[in-house]
Structure formats: C-alpha cells, structure tokens
C-alpha cells in the first residue's frame, strides 16, 4: 500500500474493522516514513454485473465511478467518507441481489438518489441536477419543493 502523502510503501495497520455489511475490511494505516494516517478498504473482486446505459451500451459495474459521483455531490459538505463507503456498500449489495446480471443504469442512479436524499439534501440536489439533466431553474425549484414536502 502506497502512502497518499509521501508515496512510501511501508506502513503499519493501526486499526482494522469490518464494514457494516461485512463486504469489506476497513484498515486505518500509519505511514512509517511521514507518520501520517490514512484509511484503506479491502473487498473481494467477484462482482460481475453489467450496467446497461441509457443509450444501450453495456459496461462493467465500476464502484470507483459511483464513488466519484457521490464524492462530487458531497464536495464541501459535512459528510464523512466512511458514511459514503458504507452507502456504496449498501448500493452494491442491492445490485448484487438483483434478479439479473445485467442492470439498467437507472436502477443504480435511483439507489444513489435515495441514499443521498437521506444523507444530505444539498448533495442530493447536486447529484439530481446531473443525473436528471436539469435544463433550467424551474426544474431545480420543482426538485427542491419535492424535498421540502417530505
């Protein structure tokens, strides 16, 4: 494991925990060179689900792509990374349990929207604006009104 601060390869594990679904192992590490701490996650790679995009293209499910989208929505928001990782674990579990090995991207998008709606309203609106392709201010207002009614 390479330190994200100094790129050293030597580290020690300070803390190790299973995530809530027991899908992955969270390790808190300390770099032996710069002494800074960082978190790593270990998970199995037997997740073979194909995503069917809106335009009909097919691509393999990419957890990192989901993570980037959620991190972008949560940028500058008080949302812990561990909470995001746990949310992605839950989304991944739902996709794994889907009846088919090919899942429409709409299902993943809606799962992310549900997760963000409960987590942080601003992050939800940010994600929704891209996912639902808002074209004008009125669409934003309609989505905000839906949140306010809940």
Write the pLDDT tens digit of every residue in 35-81: 999 999 887 765 688 999 989 999 988 889 999 999 999 999 999 99
pTM for the whole structure: 0.68
Of 7, 65, 67, 19, whose CA–CA distance to 44 is shortest? Answer: 19
Nearest Cα neighbor of 1 from 47, 44, 38, 54 is 38
Q: For residue 104, with 0-12 CB atoms within 10 Å meaning exposed, 13-18 middle and 19 or more buried, which class applies?
A: middle
pLDDT for 19 beyond 80: no
Q: Which of 1, 21, 123, 8 is nearest to 73 (CA)?
A: 123
pLDDT score of 138: 87
Mean pLDDT across the chain: 89
Tokens found for residue 23: 């899908």
């Amino acid at each position: 494991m390479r330190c994200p601060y100094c790129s050293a390869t030597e580290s020690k594990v300070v803390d190790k925990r299973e995530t809530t679904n027991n899908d992955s192992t969270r390790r808190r590490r300390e770099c032996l060179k710069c002494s800074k701490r960082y978190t790593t996650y270990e998970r199995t790679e037997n997740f073979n689900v194909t995503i069917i995009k809106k335009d009909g293209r097919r691509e393999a499910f990419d957890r990192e792509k989901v993570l980037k989208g959620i991190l972008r929505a949560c940028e500058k928001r008080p949302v812990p990374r561990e909470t995001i990782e746990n949310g992605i674990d839950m989304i991944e579990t739902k996709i794994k349990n889907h009846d088919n090995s090919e899942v429409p991207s709409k299902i993943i998008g809606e799962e992310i929207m549900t997760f963000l709606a409960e987590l942080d309203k601003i992050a939800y609106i940010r994600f929704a604006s891209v996912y639902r392709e808002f074209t004008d201010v009125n669409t934003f207002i309609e989505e905000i009104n839906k949140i306010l009614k809940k």
